[in-house]
Chains A and B, each alone.
Chain A
Amino acid sequence: MSVDTVSVTGWGRTAPTTARLIRPRSYEEAAAAVVECAAHGARGGIARGLGRAYGDAAQNAGGSVLDMTGLDRIRRIDAEAGVVVCDAGVSLHRLMEVLLPLGWFVPVTPGTRYVTVGGAIGADIHGKNHHGSGSFSRHVLSFDLLTADGEVRTVPSGTDLFDATAGGMGLTGVILSATVQLLPVETSLMCVDTERASDLDDLMARLTADDHRYRYSVAWIDLLARGASTGRSVLTRGEHAPLDALPSRARRSPLAFSPGRLPAAPRFVPDGLLGRTTVGLFNELRYRTAPRARRTGEIQKLSAFFHPLDGVPHWNRLYGRSGFVQYQFVVGYGQEDALRRIVRRISSCTGGGRGCPSFLAVLKWFGDGDPGWLSFPMPGWTLALDIPANLSGLGAFLDELDEEVAAAGGRVYLAKDSRLRPEMLAPMYPKLARFRALRAELDPLGVFTSDLSRRLSL
C-alpha cells in the first residue's frame, strides 16, 4: 500500500487540492486505510476510481484519497446467467475486454469506458439506454461496502443502504466489489441510424416519435447555432448488431473488441484553444457531414458509437490550464418550455462578448427514475455541455441556469458538478434529508468526506 501526498483534481482540472493518496491492493488494506482515515485528524477520506468525475467528488483536501484502481480483479463470471462479480476498481473497459468474447456487455456505459465499477455505482451513471434500461445501479444485484466502522457489509439491491450508496458519491463508504447483471450480445458491433434535426423542436419530436424502437439514443446539439437553427443537432441511435447483420468478413470474429487510440493530448495547451471560432467550425463541420436524410443500419465499432472521446487520451487537457466545467441538468416531461429557454440562453450567451463555446453538448431523454436517493436521472430531458472555465461571467450565468432548472423541478448532476450553490441542493434532490440522516447514523464522525461534500454540505 503506497501513500503519497499529491495534488488532486477532477476531470475538469479545476480547483486542485492536496491529499494523501493511499493505494490499497487488497480488501484488508482498504479496511486498514479507512481506519487510518478515521484516525487522521478530522479530514477523513474518499474513494477514487479513474478520476472521470468532472468536479471535486473524488478529491479530499487535507485528508486522504483512496485510489481504488489497485483493486482490479474480476472474481467470478457466470457465463450462463451473465453475472459478473468484480472488484470496485475494475474499469468498464476491462470488463468489456473480458466479457465481450463471452457474448456479454456491460448493462450501462457512459461516454467513456474509463470509469470503475465502484465509481459507476457511486455516481449511479447512466448511458444512452437510460430510457429503456435505467441507470447502472439498476443492474447491480449487490455490492460489498466498507463502512466507517471498518466493517464490510454485503448490501443487496432494494435496501436503504443500497439506495443511499447508488448515486451517494462515495459518502456512505467504500465499495469493494459488486455483482452486476450483464446484457447478452451477439456481436461487438453496433447497428446505427443517423439523422439531422433542424432545430430543437424537430429534435424533440424525432426523439419522442421513435426512440422506443432503439436501445441506445443520443443527440449532439450545436449550441452555437442561433436564430431559426437554435438547437440543430445530429441524432444517432442504435442497437447491438445481430450476427446476421454483419458483412461476411466481420462474421468470422463477431465479438472482437479492439478500440483504437490516438496519441494523447499534449500536456500543455494554451487556454482558449477551444474557443468560439474553433468550436464553431467544428460544430459546422459535424452538422454538415451528417446525412440530410436518415442513414440507417450503418455498422459501427462499439468504441466509435459509445466512446468517441476515449480515442484521444487526456482530451481534458485540450481546455488548457484553466480547465473546464461540465453542466448537466435534467428537467421533467412537461417542462419543454424550460428546456427551450435554457437552450436559447446558452446559444445566445455572450460571456465576455466571446460567446459560450460548448464543444460537446448532448441531449437525451431519460426513462423512469432510479431508486438511488441522490441518483441524478428522472423522467425527462437531460442536456450536458462542456464549457471552458476561464470564460468570464460563466459562474453567474450557470447560477442563473440553476435557478431555471430548479424552478422547473429539475436538477444538476453531482458527478459533473464543480460549482453548484449549496442552497440549491435540497430543492433539486428531495431525498437529501434522508440521505443526510442515514449518513449521520452510519458515519457519525464524517470519516467519508470529499471536497464535494464540504462544498455542498452533503
Chain B
Amino acid sequence: MKDAFGTPQSLLILGGTSAIGLATARRLVARRTRTVWLAGRPSPALESAAAGLRALGADVRTVAFDALDSTSHEEVLGKVFAEGDIDMVLLAFGILGDQARDEAEPLAAVRVAQTNYTGAVSAGLVCANALQEQGHGSLVVLSSVAGERARRANFIYGSSKAGLDAFTQGLGDALHGTGVHVMVVRPGFVRSKMTAGRAETPLATTPEAVAAAIELGLRRRSETVWVPGALRLVMSALRHVPRPLFRRMSAY
C-alpha cells in the first residue's frame, strides 16, 4: 500500500533497464519500496539492474516482457499482479529511433511507433485494469516534451509520444474516481545513454531529476508533471508559435 505521502511499497517498472525507471526505483527504495518488478527483455543489463537494486535492500524480481509483443502482455503482467498488489506501475519503455534512418526505412519508423505507442497502449490498459481491480495504485507514464509539438528533428519519436500522451490523459480521465491515479510525466531532454551523443536542447535534465519530480508528483497526486517544471511555461508558449516561425526555430 502507498503511505500518506504516496510512496509505494511495491513497484513494477515496464522497461526495466530504463535510466529514468531505475533512478526512480533507487529513490523509492530509499523510502518505502521493498518489492520491485523489473519487466523487460531478458538481458545482462536487466539482471545487473536488478542486482543494483537488490544491493540497496529491495526484493527484486525480473519478468520477461516485450513491448512489441502485445498479445503476451495480458498473460505476462497478469502473473505479476497475481503475486500481490502493485502500488505503482512505471511505464518507462520507449525507443528514440534514428530520425534520418526511420524516414528512409518506413518499417523502422513503424517499430518506433509500435514500441512507444501500441505497446504502451496494451501494457497500459492491462495494468490499468489490474490496478482498478485492486482499487488503488498509480500508473505513471513517461511521455516527453517531444510529444507536445512535432519537431523536424524527431517527429517520428515525437508523434509516438504524442499518441501515448493523449492516450494516458484519456486513461486518467477514465480512471478518475476509481482509486487509481494516472500521471503523465513529460521530461525535456534527459541526459542518459538513450540520448548519448545527441545535441542537447535547452533545459536539459537528468534521470535523477525526473525521479525526484515523480516522487513529488506521487505525493501531490499530480496528473501532469513537467521536468524541469519551467518546461510547462515554455511549451505552452511554443505551442502557439506560428508554424513558419517554429520551423525556423526547430531546424536543428
**Chain A residues at the B interface, C-beta cutoff of 8 Å:** 7, 12, 14-19, 43, 55-56, 60-63, 322-323, 325, 389-390, 392, 394-396, 418-419, 421-422, 451, 454-455
Note all chain A residues with C-beta closer than 8 A to B135: 17-19, 43, 60-63
Closest to B137 in A: A61
Note all chain B residues with C-beta closer than 8 A to A60: 135
Task: Report the bound CA distance from A155 to B3 in whole Å.
Answer: 33
Contact present for B4 and A451 (CB under 8 Å): no
Note all chain B residues with C-beta closer than 8 A to A15: 1-4, 6, 136
Note all chain B residues with C-beta closer than 8 A to A395: 3-5, 7, 31-32
Note all chain A residues with C-beta closer than 8 A to B180: 18
Contact present for A389 and B136 (CB under 8 Å): no
CB of B219 within 8 Å of the partner chain: yes
Secondary structure of the B contact surface, majority rule = loop
Q: Using an 8 Å CB-CB cutoff, how does the interface string of B74-88 with A read, 1 for contact, 0 for none? A: 000000000001000
Note all chain B residues with C-beta closer than 8 A to A323: 4
- Within B1-25, the residues touching A (CB, 8 Å) are 1-7, 9
With A17-B135, A19-B135, A455-B9 in contact, is A61–B31 under 8 Å at CB? no
- Within B79-135, the residues touching A (CB, 8 Å) are 85, 133-135
Contact present for A7 and B177 (CB under 8 Å): yes
Contact present for A394 and B5 (CB under 8 Å): yes
Contact present for B4 and A14 (CB under 8 Å): yes
With A17-B179, A61-B179, A396-B31 in contact, is A389–B5 under 8 Å at CB? yes
Note all chain A residues with C-beta closer than 8 A to B220: 322, 390
Task: Report the bound CA distance from A12 to B9 in whole Å.
Answer: 20
Closest to B175 in A: A18
With A17-B136, A43-B135, A390-B220 in contact, is A419–B179 under 8 Å at CB? no
With A15-B1, A17-B179, A322-B220 in contact, is A451–B136 under 8 Å at CB? yes
Closest to A419 in B: B3
With A17-B135, A18-B178, A62-B134 in contact, is A421–B32 under 8 Å at CB? yes
Contact present for A419 and B4 (CB under 8 Å): yes
Task: Report the bound CA distance from A421 to B180 in whole Å.
Answer: 22
Task: Report the bound CA distance from A419 to B6 in whole Å.
Answer: 9
Task: Report the bound CA distance from A12 to B3 in whole Å.
Answer: 12
Shortest Cβ gap from B27 to chain A (Å): 12
Of the four ranges (under 10, 10 to 19, 20 to 34, 35 or more), the interface on chain B belongs to 20 to 34
Contact present for B1 and A56 (CB under 8 Å): yes
Note all chain A residues with C-beta closer than 8 A to B1: 15, 17, 56, 61, 451, 454-455
Q: Using an 8 Å CB-CB cutoff, how does the interface string of B131-159 with A read, 1 for contact, 0 for none? A: 00111100000000000000000000000
Note all chain A residues with C-beta closer than 8 A to B31: 395-396
Contact present for B32 and A61 (CB under 8 Å): no
A–B complex contacts, Cβ < 8 Å, 28 sampled: A7-B178, A12-B4, A14-B5, A15-B136, A17-B1, A17-B135, A18-B135, A18-B136, A43-B135, A55-B4, A61-B1, A61-B134, A61-B136, A62-B134, A62-B135, A325-B4, A389-B4, A389-B5, A390-B220, A392-B216, A395-B3, A395-B7, A396-B31, A418-B3, A418-B4, A419-B5, A422-B9, A454-B85
Task: Report the bound CA distance from A7 to B31 in whole Å.
Answer: 26
Task: Report the bound CA distance from A322 to B4 in whole Å.
Answer: 9
Shortest Cβ gap from B25 to chain A (Å): 17
Known: A7-B177, A61-B134, A62-B136; 6 extra A-B contacts, CB below 8 A, are: A7-B178, A17-B135, A61-B135, A389-B219, A418-B3, A451-B1
Task: Report the bound CA distance from A60 to B85 in whole Å.
Answer: 12
Closest to B135 in A: A62
Note all chain A residues with C-beta closer than 8 A to B219: 322, 389-390
Note all chain B residues with C-beta closer than 8 A to A43: 134-135
Task: Report the bound CA distance from A392 to B220 in whole Å.
Answer: 11
Note all chain A residues with C-beta closer than 8 A to B9: 422, 455
Contact present for B4 and A7 (CB under 8 Å): no
Note all chain B residues with C-beta closer than 8 A to A451: 1, 136
Q: Using an 8 Å CB-CB cutoff, how does the interface string of B207-250 with A read, 1 for contact, 0 for none? A: 00000000010011000000000000000000000000000000
Task: Report the bound CA distance from A323 to B4 in whole Å.
Answer: 9
Note all chain B residues with C-beta closer than 8 A to A325: 4
Note all chain B residues with C-beta closer than 8 A to A62: 133-136, 179
With A63-B135, A421-B32 in contact, is A455–B3 under 8 Å at CB? yes
Shortest Cβ gap from A353 to chain B (Å): 16
Shortest Cβ gap from B3 to chain A (Å): 4
